């Protein structure tokens, strides 16, 4: 496993694990608090400069988009 965030969820900072090997610039995460989602490298970089409540809001927007369009929750830049 090549997990570059010290096994911490990019959203809530709790211990977590990577679900699958990295696909391109996307990492799939399983977190007991936030659930299962994907996040791009550029979004992970942006998250380092955001407060936790803002990161949670972005995750909720990504979940809403996934529910509407179908598919996996994916956090990207610009959400």
pLDDT tens across 28-72, in order?
888 999 999 999 999 999 998 999 999 999 999 999 999 999 999
Whether the per-residue pLDDT at 2 is higher than 60: the answer is no
- What is the structure's pLDDT at 20? 67
Question: How many domains in the chain?
Answer: 1
How far is C-alpha 35 from the chain's CA centre?
9
- What is the structure's pLDDT at 75? 96
- What is the structure's pLDDT at 17? 74
What's this model's pTM, rounded to 2 decimal places?
0.84
**Residue 34 domain-assigned?**
yes
Q: From residue 4, how far is each of 9, 10, 21, 22, 28 by CA, in Å?
A: 11, 10, 12, 10, 12
Range of the structural domain that residue 66 is part of: 17-75
**Residue 60 domain-assigned?**
yes
């Amino acid at each position: 496993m090549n997990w570059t965030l010290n096994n911490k969820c990019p959203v809530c900072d709790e211990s977590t694990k990577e679900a699958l090997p990295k696909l391109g610039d996307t990492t799939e995460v399983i977190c007991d608090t936030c659930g299962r989602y994907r996040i791009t490298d550029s979004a992970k970089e942006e998250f380092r400069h955001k407060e936790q409540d803002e990161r949670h809001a972005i995750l909720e927007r990504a979940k809403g988009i996934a529910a509407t369009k179908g598919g996996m929750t994916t956090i990207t830049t610009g959400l």
